[in-house]
Amino acid sequence: MILDGKQTSEKRLALLREKIEESGLYPRLATVLVGEDPASQLYVKMKHRACERVGIGSIAVDLPETATTQEVLDAVHRLNEDPMIDGILVQLPLPSQVDTHAIIEAVSPEKDVDGFHPTNLGRLFSGSPVFSPCTPLGVMNLLAEYGINPAGKRAVVIGRSIDVGRPMAALLLNADATVTICHSKTEDLATVTSGAEILVSAIGKARFVTQEMVGDGSIVIDIGTNYDENGKLCGDVDFDKVEWKTAGISPVPGGVGPMTIATLMENTFAAARLRSCGPL
């Protein structure tokens, strides 16, 4: 079974547009882009297009590659204080001279629709999330669409990054899965991963997950976005050799990526609703 993130995201975006129209609210998302990295520019454009589709207003704050930490902070502070802005997304990665942690912490938790602020991560890890990072939450939404309940299942997450791996593990744990996090120091990795009923890879290495690492009848979620030696877009999972062993697998492209953008839109609407009812 292919876990089709593109189809699922289209369904969720259509439902979201209806909810926004019924709410009487006009959510607005602001993006902050520093520099001219082509991939980052593309991602930001995709997010603005998604805003248009669902009825979310959007503004773009573009800063030069040479911007300092203070200049980026000034932009974030202006957006924090703007009563017309419900959500703020700072496109990562930032140039090396910019203090990424300082920028993330500067975003108001009430407008942090990316879910990266320490306050929101703390809420997630405490079991009471408000805004969760969009990619891991998108994975949970994709699982739910296909009726896959993590409760009681053995889940393994490959990767421990603060933006994907760790919040992914927290969301699975909050959903009552038994969770193991694997990383570069994990010994006998294949033995651990092959015992997973739900395997999530967020390691960022092309076709790293082979058939020996996957258990029969498991659910495999591929969060990786990589390019192979021929320049072809691929995930962390060696899809062609792994698919036959699984009960469900997400492809790259067309899997988790579209779900991430749909979840950002949902978080932005949630931020607008929360702000209309007062601060968190």
Catalytic positions, written as ranges = 47, 91, 114
Amino acid identity, residue 245? K
φ, ψ for residue 176, nearest 5 deg: 75, 25
- Which 8-state DSSP code applies to residue 216? T
Q: Give the C-alpha separation, 276 to 32, whole Å.
A: 23
> Cα–Cα distances in Å, from 260 out to 134, 176, 201, 246, 265?
5, 22, 15, 23, 9
Q: Please count the CA atoms within 13 angstroms of the CA of 146 that sit on its side-chain side.
A: 23
